Amino acid sequence: MLEDYQLLRIPGPTPVPPSVQRAMLQPMIGHRDQETKDLLTRIQSPLKAIFGTELDVFIIAGSGTAALEAAVVNTVEAKEEVLVLVTGTFGDRFAKICEANHIAVHRYETKWGNALNTKKIRDYLAENPSITAVFATYCETSTGVLNPIQELAQEIKKVSDALLIVDGVSCVGAVETKMDEWGIDVLITGSQKALMLPPGLSFIAASPKAWQRIARIKQHRFYFDLRKYHDSLQQDSTPFTPAISLLYGLEQSLHLIEKEGLPSIYSRHQLMKDMTRAAFRSLRIPLLTNDADASPTVTAIKPTSFQPDMLRHILKKEFGLVVAGGQNKLKGKIFRIGHMGYCHPADILQIISCIELGLRKMGQNIALGSGTKAAQQVYLKYFQGDEDDI
């Protein structure tokens, strides 16, 4: 069938809206000219809203990991003790970045598929007073878990002065994030997830408490030196050539986000999560995480009666529908549906309905339409309040 048809539903990269795609086609401008300064200025305020901060948000040309590495090398020195909370692959990545920089890592690992337990982390910090920074993942993309960052920040502050550094790459812009109010010291996100852009930009903001360390520590850094980004931003500029085309796209995606409004965006993601989960429940296919821990941006499914990778193969071949497999420990054991950014409840109905067909093609004994119906019912219930108004 149609050769170029694709339904990309992995948890990043995510589909790019047509108007964002068009914005990126604008001709190149001088990176030190007023046009670029104006562009950078227009971007700042909507970016701050997404981070829930009054602080500057720095933009680094690089994938999400660039800002993760920037967070590490700007806040901790070699041999210093840090706590890395590992709830899946991305927590593990934070630990590896620290280890590569000769930082003394305490790995605190939670069973993959569960959210972290903030009280236990508080106790661990109380017993290990030399820890100076805590690294956490907001949405653990590899398991579809949303970690309780607000609660974590509160618990840490009860016993420790450590910085809280949060990887929000797969959810900032799709779930409520209040960097300043919650007391996050460093927050990171990337372009190719909830921000509806291609890969290539990463974002980072740092609290005044984090800046005390950034200004003073001796760790080697050049491209990722946040002091350079800070000084340049005072002049509405960047220390190195910015990814201008992506910035044009970002301006448009931020415009779309402002028009829809953050509260509506957050509830759209909740709805898509609830529709997806209801569908698999109805099909009697187990979910990896429980309701309380589940992320609004990605859902992990852990089937017991078939190979997830075989289903993925059929979906890709039949419908051009791309869903993600498992990573690391969960390789071959789960599949993951990304429903963040440019994703509508109508997409969920399409995904579920294609998956039902895929399951039947695999010989699974499921009732066609039962998952779709469950998702439709969640949708109707969600808007019942509105109907009463009409």
Ligand X SMILES: *Cc1c(COP(=O)(O)O)cnc(C)c1O
Positions that interact with ligand X (CB under 6 A)? 12, 63-65, 90, 137, 141, 167, 169-170, 190, 199
Q: Quote the least distance from Cβ 82 to ligand X, whole Å.
A: 17
Strand partners, 189: 203
Residue 292 CA to residue 279 CA, distance in Å, equals 17
Q: Quote the least distance from Cβ 60 to ligand X, whole Å.
A: 11
Residue 120 CA to residue 123 CA, distance in Å, equals 5
- Tokens read off for 325: 């497999």
Q: Which 8-state DSSP code applies to residue 129?
A: T
Residue 237 CA to residue 173 CA, distance in Å, equals 24
Please identify which residue in the block is written with the tokens 């852990």.
Answer: 302
Residue 390 CA to residue 385 CA, distance in Å, equals 9
The amino acid occupying position 4 is D
The amino acid occupying position 208 is P
Whichever of 63 and 132 has its CB closer to ligand X, that residue is 63
Whichever of 324 and 378 has its CB closer to ligand X, that residue is 324
Q: Quote the least distance from Cβ 167 to ligand X, whole Å.
A: 5
Region for residue 113 given its phi and psi (left: phi exceeds 0; alpha: psi -120 to 50; beta: otherwise):
left
Helix, strand, coil abundance in the chain, percent, nearest 5: 45, 15, 35
Q: Quote the least distance from Cβ 17 to ligand X, whole Å.
A: 19
Whichever of 64 and 308 has its CB closer to ligand X, that residue is 64
- For residue 78, give every residue at least 6 positions away whose Cβ sits within 8 Å of its Cβ, in sequence order, or none: 101, 102, 103, 219
Residue 356 CA to residue 366 CA, distance in Å, equals 7
- For residue 122, give every residue at least 6 positions away whose Cβ sits within 8 Å of its Cβ, in sequence order, or none: 155, 156, 158, 159
Whichever of 72 and 374 has its CB closer to ligand X, that residue is 72
Q: Quote the least distance from Cβ 169 to ligand X, whole Å.
A: 4
Q: Quote the least distance from Cβ 96 to ligand X, whole Å.
A: 12
Whichever of 170 and 207 has its CB closer to ligand X, that residue is 170
Q: Quote the least distance from Cβ 43 to ligand X, whole Å.
A: 19
Residue nearest to ligand X (CB): 64
Whichever of 163 and 188 has its CB closer to ligand X, that residue is 188
Question: Phi and psi of 237, rounded to 5°?
Answer: -140, 180
Whichever of 87 and 372 has its CB closer to ligand X, that residue is 87
Sign of CA dihedral 107, 108, 111, 113: negative
Q: Quote the least distance from Cβ 135 to ligand X, whole Å.
A: 11
Q: Quote the least distance from Cβ 231 to ligand X, whole Å.
A: 25
Q: Quote the least distance from Cβ 157 to ligand X, whole Å.
A: 24
Residue 244 CA to residue 228 CA, distance in Å, equals 18
Residue 83 CA to residue 105 CA, distance in Å, equals 6
Whichever of 154 and 327 has its CB closer to ligand X, that residue is 327
Whichever of 169 and 214 has its CB closer to ligand X, that residue is 169
CA distances from 265 to 72, 147, 193, 299 (A): 30, 19, 14, 17
Whichever of 201 and 359 has its CB closer to ligand X, that residue is 201
